[in-house]
Structure 1
Amino acid sequence: MTLRLISLNAWGGRVHAPLMQYLKDTDPDVLCLQEVTHVASYDGGWLTFREGDFELPQRASLLEDVTEILPGHRAFFAPAARGPLYDGDRQVISEWGLATFVRQDLSVIDQVQGFIHGDFPLSGFGDHPRPRNAHAVRIHRYDTGSGVTIVQMHGLRDLAGKGDTPARLAQAHALVALIEKVWQPGEPLVVCGDFNLLPGSETFAILGKLGLTDLVTTRGFTDTRTSWYPKDGRYADYLLVTPDVKVENFDVVEEPEVSDHRALLLEIV
Structure 2
Amino acid sequence: MRIMCLNGWGGKLYGKLLPYLKQNSPDVLCLQEVVHSPATNKDWLIYRDGDHVLPQRANFFRDVAIALPNHTAIFCPSAQGILWDDNTQVPSQWGLATFVKKSFPVIAQTQGFVHKTYSPDGYGEHPRSRNAHAVRVFDYEANRPVCVAHMHGLRDLRGKIDTPERAEQARKFISITTSIAESNDPLVVCGDFNVEPESETLKILAEAGLTNLITARTTKGTRSSYYKKPGKYADYMLVNTNVKVLDFKVVYEPEVSDHCPLVLDI
What is the CA distance between 1:43 and its match in structure 2?
1.6
Question: 2-side partners of 1:95 and 1:34: how far apart?
Answer: 13
For 2:209, the equivalent position in structure 1 comes to: 211
CA distance in 2, matches of 1:51, 1:43: 23
Q: Secondary structure at the match of 1:211?
A: coil
Contact kept, 8 Å, 1:19 with 1:259, in 2: the verdict is yes
- Give the SS at the match of 2:167: helix
1:180 positional shift? 1.6
Partner of 1:154: 152
Is the contact made by 1:211 and 1:242 (CA closer than 8 Å) also made in structure 2?
Answer: yes
Q: Is the 2:109–2:180 Cα contact (8 Å) retained in structure 1?
A: yes
8 Å CA contact 2:39, 2:91 repeated in 1:
no
Q: CA deviation at 1:208?
A: 1.7
Larger mean CA deviation between 218-227 and 40-49 belongs to 218-227
Runs of 4+, deviation exceeding 2 Å? none
**TM-score when normalising by structure 1:** 0.97
How many equivalent pairs are there? 266
Is the 2:108–2:180 Cα contact (8 Å) retained in structure 1?
Answer: yes
The answer as to whether partners of 2:223 and 2:258 remain within 8 angstroms in 1 is: yes
Please name the residue that 2:2 is paired with. 4
Deviation string for 1:24-83 (max 9, x for gaps)?
110111100000000014121000000112210000111111011100000010001110
Deviation at 1:167, TM superposition (A): 0.5
Match of 1:176 in 2: 174
Q: Which residue of 2 aligns with 1:197?
A: 195
Asked whether the equivalents of residues 39 and 90 of structure 2 are also in contact (C-alpha less than 8 Å), the reply is no
- How far apart are the structure 1 equivalents of 2:47 and 2:35? 11
Give the % identical residues: 52
The equivalent residue for 1:21 is 19
* Secondary structure, counterpart of 2:6 in structure 1: strand
SS of the counterpart of 2:108? strand
Partner of 2:129: 131
> Within the alignment, does 1:86 sit opposite 2:92 as a pair?
no
The answer on whether the counterparts of 2:18 and 2:64 sit within 8 Å (CA) in structure 1 is yes
| Structure 1 residues 226-265: aligned runs within 5 Å | 226-265=224-263
Where in structure 2 are there 5+ consecutive unaligned residues?
Answer: none
Q: Give the stretch that moved more between structures: 137-146 or 203-212.
A: 203-212
> Bigger shift: 145-154 or 177-186?
177-186
For structure 1, list consecutive stretches of 5 or more residues without a partner in the other structure: none
Q: Cα offset for 1:203?
A: 1.4
Q: Determine the C-alpha separation between the residues in 2 that align with 1:204 and 1:52.
A: 31
Letter of the aligned partner of 1:225 in structure 2? R
Q: What SS is found at the alignment partner of 1:247?
A: coil
Aligned twin of 1:108? 106
Partner of residue 32, structure 1:
30
For 1:117 and 1:171, locate their aligned partners in 2 and report how far apart those are by CA, in whole Å: 6
Partner Cα distance (1:247, 1:180) in 2? 20
What letter is aligned with 1:102? V
CA RMSD of superposed structures (Å): 0.8
- Residue 225 of structure 1: aligned partner: 223
